Structure 1
Amino acid sequence: MRPPALYLVASIANLQAIELAFGHEARAAALGRLRAAMRRVVPRGEMIELENAEAIQVVAHGRSAAGPLLDRLCADLGSRPIMSEIGPFYIVPSLGAAEIGVGDVEMARMNARNQIAALPLVSGRSEISRYREDMRQCASLLENIDRGGAALVWQSVVSPEHESRLLYFEGLLRLCGEDGELRACEAGIRALERVGLAPELDRRMMALVLDHLEADPVIRLGVNISASSASLHRYGKFATWCDLLSRLARHPDLARRLVIEITETAEIPSLDEAGEFISRMQDLGCLVAIDDFGAGRASVMQTAALLADIIKIDGGFIRDAMQDERRRATFEHLVGLARSLAPAVVVEGVETAGQAELARQAGAQWLQGYHFGRPSLTRALSAPPEARTIWALGNFRDWFHPLPKAAHAGR
């Protein structure tokens, strides 16, 4: 019997943008990097060289699954930037794979190529200039993380009834300045989202938080990912998050203590894919939170369709609610709406005792903000003994009151 084989196609979704922003030599370097990465990941593959090709095509023999192969290819391509005379840039891959049936190579090739997609075109002097600057910021941020020049600081999510009762600690990325100060890196994160590289940051952050969970057997931690990363198919069918899925499946104790927060500063590329991603993570034992509710890009209907475990209300609403009765009523309505969409509601941005009391009266089960302590490097490690004892004994999902199954399924 003929051994199994895969037809793999790898292209560069931002190839046109690379050429316009960094030149023809950069285009050639990008294709060269893609070809070299494919040879490293599939060393025994039969590479099909096509004249003037903008995609690398390989027949991989053996029993390797397509997803892990493509995931390793993505990790290889995202490991470091390509340096051009104009500046650094990264490849945004677009990948496809299909099994080859007996005598059916052409059908497999067509199926694999049909999975390939390109990013929107970049045109005009201002867009090209912005693209170069975005890539510079992407390279700066990712290289800082890879060199150890970044850190996670931790902020607690607490009960309004008992501040020592902690739901989890959210990890927030900070860059280490030359003066030793920790600085926010929102500009770099937004740049990664604009050029299609948010999964590169999110992959690194997810691995780092899992390392923290492995080091502490009871702590509960949350990690932010971009809405644009909330897909198992971001770079190709099942070509994203394979390493994460495998690690969580091998270590269910980590999954049970992990909260994945999906931020809404970028659009959700596909509601179906986001729902599939959330469902898969929940099946593994993770909790999933929707961040920035009320101020993010997702509509109420989209948020309801995602069936998240936690909804986090943007901090702007609690600040506004202290101004007058109308905005207080809006805030109270928003908390009630959020409670109808998910089992647990967190109000962010709580900075005063008055805001904490207002959120409690509105029905929020959990609070987060400077009133309970500023984010710090050591806050998660210094959780009170009573919290750590309960964490060690209890089921994470018992920390809030879930909706009845029938109501939750019918949303």
Structure 2
Amino acid sequence: MAVSREVRRRICLSFVRTMGTDFAFPRDDCCLLWSNESFPVPVDTSLTAAREQLESVLTHVGKRPIVFRGIAVLAQLHADWIEMGSPGELDSAEIELALWTAQQCAEFEQMELDGWGHRYRADMDVAVRTAEALSRGFLSLSWRPVVDVYGGSSALYHSLIATAGPIPEESRSDAIHESVYAPSLERLGLARLWDRHLLRKTLAILRQRPGLRLGIRLSTQSARCDHWWSSVFSALHSEPMLASRLVVEFSASGVVSELEAVRSFCSRLQSLGCRIAVRGLGCRDGDLAIVHACRPDIAKVDPSFLRRARSSEFGREGLQEMLSLAGHLASHAVVDGIEREEDMRLALRAGAQWVEGAFMDGAKARRGEA
């Protein structure tokens, strides 16, 4: 109830002119917002402006934690358009039918019931701290180059790794690394808000650095052609040279509930000129389904193959075979996880052209660029 009330308050404060004609909330978990002077919806043939208006509602309402009795949470939001009459002309059956038609399809995933409450609270704590770090500009970016194993002068691109925080006055001052915030946000269904912010930040960096090619890691949960991405798609469409320098990465280990949605999202990005990469190839059974959905331009072999190659001939054969498979699945195959000079020799022996890892990092941390 407290979360719903705060969501309604934020909508009314910024997007409602007159309560009686612009806004209604037939159920506690959903509301209806009509186009009005505070929420104008210019209709054009592409509906781009209308989609970006919905994007503004989602981000404005969802970006800040909601606090009730000392507990902070982030709301998972969905919005869509539907044609309806004015509030006074609708009966309850029409409203219920409209809301049922417009609702988002549920994403079902297997969840362990034991200890779910503790896990939910821990995940939400991470999500809130991440959101607070973003809102206050405490974001650290590291660029990890994907380089030619033979020492070419230019990188294929730089893979961007983001860290949230720390917030200076926070008692728990540790920064929140991707390995912590990414799974928490995914389990809560909140990855899209973070991914959108990071992608927009990446586009800003690309505008500032015309010679740079950057890769950004997105959750497969974010791979939907919906209103969250309206402004991003518009920017990529209007700036094709910008799009050509952007690589969007997905993890082969990501949980995917709708492969067709991932296919549509990746195809949309590629049609705009972006490249798609899949990292962690071979890390689990069934990851070829994500490769099939993404149709990547770049495939990164999981670092576990390189670790096994250090200790046995069997491992070295496995690295070579996985690298060969990656080369068949994408235009560029990358050996990931290079940590020492020995790894470079192993990658060369396996036939690699492109490598990535801490050994050749030169990663330049950029702080406070949220």
- Cα distance change of structure 1 residues 107 and 253 upon mapping to structure 2, 3 Å threshold: farther
Q: Report SS of the residue matched to 1:94.
A: coil
- Cα distance change of structure 1 residues 54 and 304 upon mapping to structure 2, 3 Å threshold: closer
Structure 2 Cα separation of the partners of residues 312 and 37 of structure 1: 43
> Following TM superposition, by how much is the alpha carbon of 1:349 offset from its aligned partner in structure 2, in angstroms?
0.5
**Given the alignment, which residue of 81, 85, 107 partners 1:97?**
81
Q: So what's the TM-score if we normalise by structure 2? A: 0.83
Matched, 1:127 2:116: yes
> Following TM superposition, by how much is the alpha carbon of 1:270 offset from its aligned partner in structure 2, in angstroms?
1.1
Decide whether the 8 Å contact of 2:130 with 2:176 is kept in 1: no
Q: So what's the TM-score if we normalise by structure 1? A: 0.75
Matched, 1:59 2:67: no
- Cα distance change of structure 1 residues 297 and 227 upon mapping to structure 2, 3 Å threshold: farther
Q: Give the equivalent residue in structure 2 for 1:114.
A: 101
Letter in 2 for 1:209: T
Q: Give the equivalent residue in structure 1 for 2:147.
A: 158
Q: Give the equivalent residue in structure 2 for 1:382.
A: none
Q: Which sits farther off after the overlay, 292-301 or 339-348?
A: 292-301
- Cα distance change of structure 1 residues 126 and 252 upon mapping to structure 2, 3 Å threshold: same
Q: How many residues align?
A: 344
> Following TM superposition, by how much is the alpha carbon of 1:170 offset from its aligned partner in structure 2, in angstroms?
1.1
Q: Which sits farther off after the overlay, 199-208 or 350-359?
A: 350-359
> Following TM superposition, by how much is the alpha carbon of 1:152 offset from its aligned partner in structure 2, in angstroms?
0.2
Q: Give the equivalent residue in structure 2 for 1:31.
A: 4
Letter in 1 for 2:324: G
CA RMSD, 1 decimal: 3.0
Matched, 1:142 2:158: no
Letter in 2 for 1:208: K
Q: Give the equivalent residue in structure 2 for 1:292.
A: 280
Structure 2 Cα separation of the partners of residues 173 and 221 of structure 1: 13
Q: Give the equivalent residue in structure 2 for 1:80.
A: 64
Decide whether the 8 Å contact of 2:253 with 2:283 is kept in 1: no
Q: Report SS of the residue matched to 1:166.
A: coil
- Cα distance change of structure 1 residues 200 and 328 upon mapping to structure 2, 3 Å threshold: same
Q: Give the equivalent residue in structure 1 for 2:235.
A: 247
How is 1:178-193 mapped onto 2 (pairs within 5 angstroms)? 184-193=177-186
Decide whether the 8 Å contact of 1:312 with 1:346 is kept in 2: yes
**Given the alignment, which residue of 279, 286, 303 partners 1:315?**
303
Decide whether the 8 Å contact of 1:230 with 1:262 is kept in 2: no
Decide whether the 8 Å contact of 1:47 with 1:57 is kept in 2: yes
How is 1:375-390 mapped onto 2 (pairs within 5 angstroms)? 375-377=363-365
Matched, 1:231 2:258: no
**Given the alignment, which residue of 202, 205, 208 partners 1:209?**
202
Which string of whole-angstrom CA distances, capped at 9 and with x for unpartnered residues, describes residues 249-285 of structure 1? 2222211111111124531231111011001111111
Runs of 5+ consecutive residues of structure 2 not aligned to the other structure: none
Letter in 2 for 1:262: F
- Cα distance change of structure 1 residues 244 and 296 upon mapping to structure 2, 3 Å threshold: farther
How is 1:256-335 mapped onto 2 (pairs within 5 angstroms)? 256-295=244-283, 298-335=286-323
Letter in 2 for 1:371: F
How is 1:348-387 mapped onto 2 (pairs within 5 angstroms)? 348-373=336-361, 375-377=363-365
Q: Report SS of the residue matched to 2:82.
A: strand
